[in-house]
Structure 1
Amino acid sequence: MGLFTQIVMFVLIISILVILHELGHFIPAKYFKTKVEKFYLFFDVKFSLLKKKIGETEYGIGWLPLGGYVKIAGMIDESMDTDQMKEEPKPWEFRSKPAWQRLIIMLGGVIVNFLLAWLIYTFLLFNNGDTYIPSDSLKYGIVVDSIGEKLGLRTGDKILKVDGKKATRFNDAILDIILGDDITVDREGQEITFPITDEGKKEVFQTQGRNFMAYRSKAVIALVADSSVAKKAGIMAGDEIISVDGKSVVFWDEFRNTIGNSANENLDISVRRDGRVENLNLTVPNEGAIGIQLDIQDLRKTDTYDFFGAIPAGFTRTIKVLTDQIRQFKVIFNSKTEAYKQVKGPIGIVEMMPKSWDWTFFWSFMAMFSVWLAFLNILPIPALDGGHVMFLLYEMISGRPPSEKVLEKGQIIGFVILMGLMVVIFGNDIWNIIKRFF
């Protein structure tokens, strides 16, 4: 059921986004009395799964789940219907409409995607608030693993700025560091600024950013497993570790490292319990784990919004998501980071879905992906909305449209580029699956 839920959630999200995006083209086209011949969810190459003609438009579902389209009469698009273009323009055709109307029709899908994301973020903030970890609540700084160290970070650092911008939220700082150029930290009372290395980013992307940085906590025990070495030694939930073999311990990472490096060794452990010190003794098992969990201090803060306050906050969130996605391109196209190897297609995205239904994730992912679709579609690549907009802007500025030959060749080149990218992305998904078996 887990995989089934993941697939259903992904298909539903994509279907809603595609339909709404195409409605963004369809509605202004109809408003400007432009004939829309087809409205399809997914592509109907050679045949369609379902179709029904209502009025002048054929509505249907294709079999190839790579998006969708509306076929507008008198327009060179992915259908490459050049025969229609050889005839004299009809009043209801796209090419007969004023440039400003054509521009609105082409921008409609992108605008709908942006407005949808804004609407979803507004209601999420109104309903759930905005939960985050304030950077100034990290009294003991951060704890990093070997990958975090390759980025230049050190355990105990306090994040002050990324690319000169004050780090106010720990959650945002993690992404900002991956996408940034330099970072400023407070290290043992000294303010230090250093570049974020491409080699470190490469390691982060190879592990998909898992756990390279967390906030540092005191060595307080939350849970002791039954029948564990810690239980037998007398360690109890609520104990604070203060020393191991006479060496002072303050933080959880210090205690964890000591235990992990002491397999099969006998250790004297001192804990603070109810204001008094207890001295205990245990032998660390071969696997270097003694059966305890950290008492993680909940540093999260939630800002709440009324409906009218959620509207501008939702807009701000949408702009930030868009900005972060634009910033990702700089990293993806940097060959040293090899971030392009982690770009996910449909197969990889399905694996990101939760295995049980989660409405908060559903709407959050839809909003994020809607912004992503808006950004991708507005890129000035022929065959995308942005390519059509580019040619329309040229026409509006120069006073004459590009020739049909130029439009046709541009459409073909853009289509080849997009198909090439899809092959690479699908191949990357498949290769990542294959690697798991070796």
Structure 2
Amino acid sequence: MRTPGRWWRHKTTPEKVESYTRWSFHFFAVMEFFSVGLTSVAPLGPRLGGAVMLVVAVHAGLCFVTVSRAIDWTRGRRPQPTGLMWTLAAVTAAIAATAIGLAELGPDRESVDTAAGGVFGVILIFGPGIIALGVRSRRRAFAIAGGFAAGTWVIAFSLGAPVLTALFTALIVLIGGTFIAFTAVFSVWLLNSVFELDEARETRARLAVAEERLRFGRDLHDVMGRNLAVIALKSELAVQLAQRRRPEAVTQMVEVQRLAHESQREVREVVRGYREADLGSELAGAQGVLAAAGIDCTVDAATAAVLPAAVQSALGWVVREAATNVLRHGDARRCAVRLQVLEGRVVLSVENDGVSEAGTESGSGPSGSGLAGLRERLAEIDGTLEAGPAGQGLFRLTAEIPLPEQPGPSSAVPAVVAARSVSEVTP
């Protein structure tokens, strides 16, 4: 069973913003009930106060439901709750008119006037603001608050309130309703912007993968295009010569065989270039891709250039897989890559925050298939790989590879110097 903290931590940033927006406006409805619904019982008496509390509870419930439906409509999950908004507007106007009538025509007690004024003000301020969540046009959202303010002046004046008193009351409703409407408009804009930014980050990550595929395709085309064209022409020529029983057909087929072997070798070189990851390039590429996705990535790898080629290649694959997991899983904001040479071994650690439980289970955790392949690759050079939660919403991947020992006096030098000597003699 998940605790509330785990439930919140495992949400993505857009989901957190949506939950915050939704419950903020739900809190307005709850605050409306407790601030004017319950407090009306004492000054108005059990019977009248209970009726007012029930009416305010109905209005708060309508606001609660309208908030959920309007935010779902904003995210494209439901149709626009037009009927619900009209219902809320009618109930708001009816309660406000009843509150004014109670203050003007009800029992002549100060406590009654205070309770009726509180119900009137809170209802007319929160009602238009909640309705503004369900409209797209900003002008229309502010026009709703203005319409309720104008209606307030008309009703107050028609029930006998002085002109200045009715005007002052309408001005208070206008200011309060406009503020809540502005809050609703800004909250919807912020929520949509966060979702759009998250979609843009995912699009950038997909474009980076697509660009790499296109680059690989271009390299293959450049390598194979000319050779395949020549092979096709020479094969066609050899067929024609063979049909004429010309001995030159054998020469052409030998040339075709040579070109085929050459093409095979060139394809292996292209694939080998992708399979043998360069650690420096992978570190720079990971930092660039993560930065483009809005993730602050710091790299501390001053000793990368002095490592043996086999170690660099293996660690390059670790960096590539770790960066992919950070992009695909969780909602990371920070990522730190650190490379150290300690007592004859190389330790690479990649730590990021914002890892969700689903991401840990699907590939960035110890059971992920990508990390299983890395373990097999590191095992070939006696390396190890560990991955798992590091506490406080962090996830850490650590790769450790022993450096080859150097014979003779060089074995006594520090590990960094030994690694440099290995890299100098490695072809």
Give TM-score, length-normalised by structure 1: 0.23
Indicate the structure whose relative CO is greater, using CA pairs within 8 Å and at least 6 residues apart.
1
Give TM-score, length-normalised by structure 2: 0.23
Larger radius of gyration: 2
Structure ranking higher in strand proportion:
1
